[in-house]
C-alpha cells in the first residue's frame, strides 16, 4: 500500500486519503483481509482532454480551459481552470457587467447647473462627445444651444491618464488614448493620406517607375492639429519603428510627424490632453466662449445630469472591436453613480467585487477597464462563472448582439463560422505572448456552452494558437 501511495500524483494521493478516512479506516478495525478498492472518477469530456494533451501547439505554454452549460450552469470541462492567467482584453466583459449593474439605459453625458447668465458643467467620463465611431450630439447640442451667455467648464478629480502597468511606449498608438473626465474626439487625431502624386517627367528623363513622388497629401481631423503636423525629417526615422506606422507623435507635445509611404493610408493617434487644450477645442467647436472655473454649487443650485447615447451602442462598439478607450471611460461613468466628488476606476471595481462578484469561484485581480494592464489576473473557471451570470441576467438575443460574432463583426469576423453561419459569440484578448477567448459556442444540437480558453506565455506568432483554439472549439460544437 505504501508503494502504491508513493507513485500516485499528489491530487489523487489526497483523494485516496480522504476516501480511506471516510470509508476504509473503520473497516480495517474489523478485518485486515478486506481488499482496498479506490475508484477514481473519470474526467469529463475525455476526448477533449486527449486533444489538449496531444496538441503540439499547446504543449509549450500555459493553457487554461473551462466549459459549462449556459442554461444549467453544469460544469462540462476544466483544464488548469483554477490557475490565474493574464486575461488581456477579455477583461472588457467585466467592464460590460459593471455597466449593466451600475448605469441606466443611457450614458451620463455631463453634470450641470445654471446660475444667472452662466452654465456650469463638468465631465462624467462620457467618451462619445464628437467621437468618430460612437458619436453622440446630445451634449454638443445641449451646450451649443444653451441660453446662458457664458459656459463654465469645471474640473473634477479623476484617474491618471494611463492605467497601472500600461506600456509607456504605446502612447502613440490608437489603442491607448489618455483617460479624461471630458473626452473630445475620442482624445485622438485622425489622419487620412491620399496616394502620393508622381512628379511630371521631362522628355528623356527617368522612367515612370522611378519618378520622384510629391509630398503626400494628408487630411487632419480635428483640423486644429493640422498646423502641428509635418513630414518626418530624415533623422526622425528609426529602424525600430513599426513598418505599418504612418504617424508618430512627440512624446511630450502635440507635434505629429507623417512617415513616407507610396500608398494611401488612414491612421489614428492619441493627442496629449490638458485643461487648456480642452477649453480651446470646446470653444472652437461650439463657437462659444468657454472659461474654466471651480465646481462650487450653492444650496439653491439644482444639479442635473444630461443623459446621452443608449448604453448598448457603447457596449457593442467596445466589445466587438475591443475598444480600450471606451472600456476605460465606461468604468469612470460607473463611478459617477457612487459619488460626485471624483471619477475613480478603482472605486467602481471595489463596489463590483463586493456587491456583484462575491460569488465567483476565485477573486479576480482587476485593475483597469480595458485589460491593457498585465496586472489583471483571473482564472478560467471564474471567467466562465461571469459568462453564466451574463447569460442568466441578460436576455440571450441582446447578449449575443453586443458580442463579436464569428464571421460577422470585429475581432472574430474571419473565424468561428461555416456555411450554416455563426457558431461562436464572444470576446478576444490579446497581448504580446498572450491570446485568450471567452464567449459562447452554439453546438449542433442547439446547446449553448460558455467557454473560457486562455493561452499565456507562448513565443512568436500567435496564429498557430488561434488556429488551435478554433480547432478544439469546433470539436466542442460538433460533439456536444
Residue with cell 453625458: 109
Report d(CA 382, CA 68) in Å as an integer.
11
Distance of CA 138 to the CA centre of its chain: 25
Report d(CA 130, CA 145) in Å as an integer.
16
Distance of CA 209 to the CA centre of its chain: 44
For position 411, what pLDDT does the model report? 87
306 strand-pairing partners: 110
Report d(CA 103, CA 97) in Å as an integer.
10
For position 263, what pLDDT does the model report? 87
For 130, 193, 214, 217, 259, the CA distances from 197, given in Å and listed in that order, are 32, 11, 5, 9, 16
For position 237, what pLDDT does the model report? 65
For 90, 416, 468, the CA distances from 52, given in Å and listed in that order, are 22, 19, 10
Q: What would the grid cell of residue 197 be?
A: 502624386
For position 15, what pLDDT does the model report? 42
Low-confidence ranges of the chain (pLDDT < 70): 1-43, 198-215, 237-239
Nearest to 105 by CA among 307, 337, 382: 307
Q: What would the grid cell of residue 127 be?
A: 467618451
For position 23, what pLDDT does the model report? 39
For 367-418, the pLDDT digits (tens) are 999 999 999 999 999 999 999 999 999 999 999 999 999 998 788 999 999 8
Phi, psi dihedral angles at 464 (to 5 degrees): -60, -35
Per the confidence metrics, is the pTM higher than 0.85?
yes
Sign of CA dihedral 453, 417, 449, 318: positive
Q: What would the grid cell of residue 277 be?
A: 487644450
Domain architecture of the chain: domains with CATH: 46-102+311-479 (3.40.710.10)
75 strand-pairing partners: 68
SS3 331: helix
Report d(CA 111, CA 132) in Å as an integer.
23
For position 174, what pLDDT does the model report? 93
What is the Rg, in whole angstroms, of the alpha carbon atoms belonging to the chain?
A: 28
Nearest to 386 by CA among 352, 350, 414: 352
Report d(CA 144, CA 189) in Å as an integer.
22
For position 323, what pLDDT does the model report? 96
Are residues 87 and 371 in contact, defined by beta-carbon separation less than 8 angstroms? yes
For 86, 117, 251, 320, 462, the CA distances from 401, given in Å and listed in that order, are 26, 45, 39, 9, 27
Buried b (16+ CB within 10 A) or exposed e, 377-403: bbbbbbbbbbbbbbbeebeeeebbebb
Are residues 263 and 242 in contact, defined by beta-carbon separation less than 8 angstroms? no
Are residues 90 and 383 in contact, defined by beta-carbon separation less than 8 angstroms? yes
The H-or-E segment that residue 229 falls in is strand 229-231
Nearest to 429 by CA among 189, 136, 94: 94
Residue with cell 506600456: 167
The H-or-E segment that residue 291 falls in is strand 290-293
Distance of CA 234 to the CA centre of its chain: 36
Amino acid at each position: 500500500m505504501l508503494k502504491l501511495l508513493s507513485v500516485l500524483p499528489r491530487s489523487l494521493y489526497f483523494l485516496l486519503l480522504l476516501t480511506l478516512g471516510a470509508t476504509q479506516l473503520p473497516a480495517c478495525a474489523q478485518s485486515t483481509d478486506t481488499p482496498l478498492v479506490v475508484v477514481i472518477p473519470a474526467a469529463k469530456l475525455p476526448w477533449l482532454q486527449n486533444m489538449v494533451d496531444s496538441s503540439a501547439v499547446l504543449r509549450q505554454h500555459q493553457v487554461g480551459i473551462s466549459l459549462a452549460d449556459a442554461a444549467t450552469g453544469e460544469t462540462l470541462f476544466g483544464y488548469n481552470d483554477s490557475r490565474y492567467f493574464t486575461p488581456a482584453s477579455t477583461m472588457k466583459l467585466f467592464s460590460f457587467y459593471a455597466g449593466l449593474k451600475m448605469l441606466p439605459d443611457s450614458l451620463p453625458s455631463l453634470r450641470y447647473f445654471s446660475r444667472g447668465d452662466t452654465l456650469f458643467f463638468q465631465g462624467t467620463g462620457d467618451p462619445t462627445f464628437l467621437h468618430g465611431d460612437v458619436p453622440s450630439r446630445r451634449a454638443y447640442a445641449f451646450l451649443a444651444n444653451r441660453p446662458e451667455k457664458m459656459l463654465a467648464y469645471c474640473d473634477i478629480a479623476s484617474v491618471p491618464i494611463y492605467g497601472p502597468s500600461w506600456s509607456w511606449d504605446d502612447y502613440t498608438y490608437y489603442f491607448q488614448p489618455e483617460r479624461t473626465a471630458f473626452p473630445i474626439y475620442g482624445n485622438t487625431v485622425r489622419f487620412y493620406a491620399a496616394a502620393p502624386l508622381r512628379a511630371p517627367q521631362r522628355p528623356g528623363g527617368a522612367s515612370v517607375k522611378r519618378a520622384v513622388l510629391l509630398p503626400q497629401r494628408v487630411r487632419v481631423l480635428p483640423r486644429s492639429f493640422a498646423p502641428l503636423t509635418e513630414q518626418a525629417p530624415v533623422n526622425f526615422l528609426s529602424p525600430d519603428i513599426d513598418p505599418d506606422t504612418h504617424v508618430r507623435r512627440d512624446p511630450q507635445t502635440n507635434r505629429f510627424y507623417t512617415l513616407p509611404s507610396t500608398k494611401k493610408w488612414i491612421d489614428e493617434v492619441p493627442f496629449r490632453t490638458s485643461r487648456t487644450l480642452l477649453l480651446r477645442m470646446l470653444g472652437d467647436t461650439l463657437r462659444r466662449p468657454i472659461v474654466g472655473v471651480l465646481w462650487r454649487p450653492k444650496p439653491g443650485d439644482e444639479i442635473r445630469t444630461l443623459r446621452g447615447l443608449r448604453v448598448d451602442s457603447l457596449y457593442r462598439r467596445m466589445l466587438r472591436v475591443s475598444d480600450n478607450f471606451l472600456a476605460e471611460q465606461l468604468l469612470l461613468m460607473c463611478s459617477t453613480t457612487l459619488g460626485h466628488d471624483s471619477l475613480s476606476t478603482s472605486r467602481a471595481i471595489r463596489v463590483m467585487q463586493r456587491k456583484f462578484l462575491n460569488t465567483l469561484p476565485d477573486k479576480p485581480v482587476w485593475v483597469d477597464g480595458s485589460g491593457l494592464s498585465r496586472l489583471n489576473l483571473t482564472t478560467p473557471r471564474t471567467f466562465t462563472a461571469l459568462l453564466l451570470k451574463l447569460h442568466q441576467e441578460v436576455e440571450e438575443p441582446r447578449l449575443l448582439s453586443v458580442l463579436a460574432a464569428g464571421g460577422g463583426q470585429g475581432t472574430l469576423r474571419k473565424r468561428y463560422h461555416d456555411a450554416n453561419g455563426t457558431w461562436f459569440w464572444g470576446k478576444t484578448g490579446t497581448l504580446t505572448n498572450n491570446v485568450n477567448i471567452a464567449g459562447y459556442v452554439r453546438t449542433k444540437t442547439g446547446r449553448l456552452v460558455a467557454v473560457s480558453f486562455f493561452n499565456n506565455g507562448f513565443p512568436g506568432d500567435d496564429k498557430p494558437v488561434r488556429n488551435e483554439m478554433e480547432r478544439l472549439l469546433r470539436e466542442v460544437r460538433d460533439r456536444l
